[in-house]
Each structure stands twice: as C-alpha cells, then as structure tokens.
C-alpha cells in the first residue's frame, strides 16, 4: 500500500480522509495547511499527496506547484468543495494533479481515484 500525505485545513475532513485511507491499508500523515504539507513532503517519503485547494497560508495550487517542482514524479490528488472552484479543479490537472475530487465525495470515489493514480495501467472491466 501507499504512504499518503493528506493536506487539509478542515479538521473533520482531514480526520475522515485519514480514517478512510487507513481502512484501505495505506499509511497516512497529515498537515493542516500547504506550508506544513510542503515541509512534511520534502522531509518524508510519500507515494501520494491529497491536497485541498482552498487553504490558509498556502493554497492548493501553490502547494501542488511547489511539490511538483521538488518531485515531478509525485502523485497528487486535488480536492475541493466545488462551486466556484470548478475552474480551479481543471487547472489542477494542468499543473500536475493526477486526479481531482469535488467534496463531498464517497470512500468509493476516493478508492477509485487512488486506483487510477497508483495503478495507472490497470484495466477497469465493467
């Protein structure tokens, strides 16, 4: 399974994501903002980062850009509350996100996204 860093400023969402990811067998660390997340990511070894887009101190777009600059191969999932963020979600693909989810999303949606990102050559059969 993967080593995952969750960067999310909303405590409830961060804890829910951590619980869901751990139930899938992943090891999880978390950060409450982009500044802390970038520091943890640079000093640790993560297979995947899940980052919120709208956060204090350093937003998700800035966070993704900095993470990709330091590690172009890092897998990134962008998450956001939707609404006015729809254009931002599309931008995240252009700057390096591998998957984007609009809150609220289900554990199944999260798992499907992770499967596409972590096992990109996996053929899905309906």
CATH code: domain of residue 87: 3.40.50.2300
Whether residue 126 is contained in a domain is answered as no
- Please tell me the total count of domains within the chain: 1
DSSP β-ladder status, 27-31 and 3-7: parallel
pLDDT tops 70 at residue 87: no
Domain that holds residue 92: 3-118
Of 64, 70, 69, the C-alpha closest to 50 is: 64
Could you report the per-residue pLDDT of 25-79, keeping only the tens digit for each?
999 999 999 999 999 999 889 999 999 998 988 999 999 999 999 999 999 999 9
Whether residue 38 is contained in a domain is answered as yes
Whether residue 51 is contained in a domain is answered as yes
pLDDT tops 70 at residue 84: no
């Amino acid at each position: 399974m993967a080593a995952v860093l969750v960067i999310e400023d909303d405590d409830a969402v961060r804890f829910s994501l951590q619980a869901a990811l751990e139930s899938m067998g992943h090891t999880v660390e978390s950060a409450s903002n982009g500044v802390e997340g970038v520091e943890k990511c640079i000093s640790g070894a993560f297979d995947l980062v899940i980052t919120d887009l709208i956060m204090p101190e350093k937003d998700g777009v800035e966070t993704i850009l900095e993470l990709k600059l330091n590690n172009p191969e890092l897998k990134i999932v962008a998450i956001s509350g939707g609404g006015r963020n729809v254009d931002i979600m599309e931008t995240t693909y252009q700057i390096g996100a591998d998957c984007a989810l609009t809150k609220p999303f289900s554990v199944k949606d999260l798992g499907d996204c992770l499967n596409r990102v972590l096992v990109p050559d996996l053929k899905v059969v309906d």
